[in-house]
């Protein structure tokens, strides 16, 4: 019992260590950290628009609220200074004939309210600028222009954040596992992908990258070395008619990095298969990318995906997403090398070949029958 628990605990630790080392999560987020960036952080301020768009919502809303409240309060102080210099405040006891720069500013609170009304163009009609003070007129023009700029930038950033194609990518889903089985007489690695919306992705393109640590002949260790993995469907890997779930597959031939792997050694491998789907959103014409990854524990050898599309009595096609990631065990060679050797052996049997050591000898027939 103790040995079983120890083995279970160690297997959990190994699984967690593998998950911790995953570069791309199942939902497509990249698990990478930049260190010692130093003064290069200044470039994020230069490209302020992209920086604002990449911020999380809580930080974006904090900047949004702070920008408006800060500008209102700053100009409120300026309006208070104008009223103080022109001696429009009640503590100066202005005369009855005194014309203030701004009507009905009695303190810092009323100056803040006038700043708010000016920048958001509310216009209650109670506080207003007079023609008595040129400084007040200039400040009014400056605040109106700056308020339009702040409003355009912050509202545009929020609108762009909402309409980013990144959200459209969340409606594209991949199967939880990848499977390896025979397809069309060839050993293939198969993955299922589905579009949860009825609107299409135009010009879709599917490809993959195999990430692993390799050592060059010169002895250099390359971490996260990338190897191209070609994925296809029966109609090709470009311009897909992506209205129903598709099963994409990679043919494991002699040029494939999976060729020298076997069912018994698959879990001992150290790799991460990252799958990408690029396309253009039909509604907005914006490009988007969906990605996911598979580690050796998520690749099932000797399985295929269960059927998912059926036809109803009314003549409609029905997609059952309950079977989207469901797999079925099938008979599969335990390695690609064995499959191709088996094919070559069968081909030689059908074709036949000569034995160079065979010698044909003639036999004289004699008859022992005497007449």
pLDDT at 23: 82
Mean pLDDT: which of 13-27, 74-88, 192-206, 209-223 is highest?
74-88
Domains of the chain with CATH codes:
44-163 (1.10.287.70), 167-347 (2.60.40.1400)
Once rounded to an integer, what is the mean pLDDT over residues 200-213? Answer: 86
pLDDT at 79: 94
Instruction: Give, rounded to a whole angstrom, the gap between the first and last alpha carbons of the chain.
Output: 92
- Give the lowest-confidence range in 63-77, 216-230, 306-320, 342-356: 342-356
Which one is predicted more confidently, 56 or 339? 56
Once rounded to an integer, what is the mean pLDDT over residues 109-127? Answer: 89
- Percent of the chain whose predicted confidence (pLDDT) is above 70: 81
- Give the lowest-confidence range in 32-41, 198-207, 229-238, 343-352: 343-352
Q: What are phi and psi of 173, to 5 degrees?
A: -125, 145
Whether pLDDT at 31 is above 90: no
- Give the lowest-confidence range in 113-117, 126-130, 177-181: 126-130
Average pLDDT along the chain: 82
pLDDT at 11: 62
Whether pLDDT at 35 is above 80: no
pLDDT at 350: 55
Whether pLDDT at 340 is above 80: no
Whether pLDDT at 355 is above 70: no
Confidence class for position 52, pLDDT limits 50, 70, 90: confident
pLDDT at 371: 43
Which one is predicted more confidently, 32 or 143? 143
- Give the lowest-confidence range in 1-5, 121-125, 295-299: 1-5
Whether pLDDT at 24 is above 60: yes
- Give the lowest-confidence range in 9-13, 32-36, 97-101, 285-289: 9-13
Which one is predicted more confidently, 153 or 241? 153
Confidence class for position 221, pLDDT limits 50, 70, 90: confident
- Percent of the chain whose predicted confidence (pLDDT) is above 90: 28
Q: What are phi and psi of 32, to 5 degrees?
A: -140, 145
The Cα 257–Cα 179 span in angstroms is: 16
Residues 232 and 249 sit within 8 Å (Cβ to Cβ): yes
């Amino acid at each position: 019992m103790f040995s079983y628990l120890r083995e279970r605990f160690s297997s959990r630790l190994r699984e967690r260590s593998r998950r911790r080392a995953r570069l791309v999560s199942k939902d497509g987020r990249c698990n990478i950290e930049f260190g010692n960036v130093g003064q290069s952080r200044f470039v994020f301020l230069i490209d302020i628009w992209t920086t604002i768009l990449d911020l999380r919502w809580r930080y974006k809303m904090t900047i949004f609220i702070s920008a408006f409240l800060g500008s209102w309060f700053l100009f409120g102080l300026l309006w208070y200074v104008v009223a103080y210099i022109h001696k429009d405040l009640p503590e100066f006891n202005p005369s009855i004939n005194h014309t203030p720069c701004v009507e009905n500013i009695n303190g810092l609170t009323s100056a803040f309210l006038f700043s708010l009304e000016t920048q958001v163009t509310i216009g209650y009609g109670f506080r207003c600028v007079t023609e008595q003070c040129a400084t007040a007129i200039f400040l009014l023009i400056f605040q109106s222009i700056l308020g339009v700029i702040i409003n355009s930038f912050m509202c545009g950033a929020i609108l762009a954040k909402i309409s980013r194609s990144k959200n459209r990518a969340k409606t594209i889903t991949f199967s939880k596992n990848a499977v390896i089985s025979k397809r069309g007489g060839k050993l293939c690695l198969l993955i299922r992908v589905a579009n949860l919306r009825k609107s299409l992705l135009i010009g879709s393109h599917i490809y993959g990258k195999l990430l692993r640590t390799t050592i060059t002949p010169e002895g250099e260790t390359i971490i996260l070395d990338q190897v191209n993995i070609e994925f296809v469907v029966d109609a090709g890997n470009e311009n897909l008619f992506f209205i129903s779930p598709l099963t994409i597959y990679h043919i494991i031939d002699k040029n494939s990095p999976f060729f020298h792997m076997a069912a018994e050694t698959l879990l001992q491998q150290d790799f991460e298969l990252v799958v990408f789907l690029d396309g253009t959103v039909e509604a907005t014409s914006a490009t988007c990318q969906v990605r996911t990854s598979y580690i050796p524990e998520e690749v099932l050898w000797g399985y295929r995906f269960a059927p998912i599309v059926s036809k109803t009595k009314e003549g409609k096609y029905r997609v059952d997403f309950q079977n989207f990631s469901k797999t079925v065990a099938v008979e599969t060679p335990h390695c690609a090398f064995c499959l191709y050797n088996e094919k070559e052996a069968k081909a030689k049997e059908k074709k036949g070949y000569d034995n160079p050591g065979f010698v044909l000898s003639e036999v004289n027939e004699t008859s022992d029958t005497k007449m």
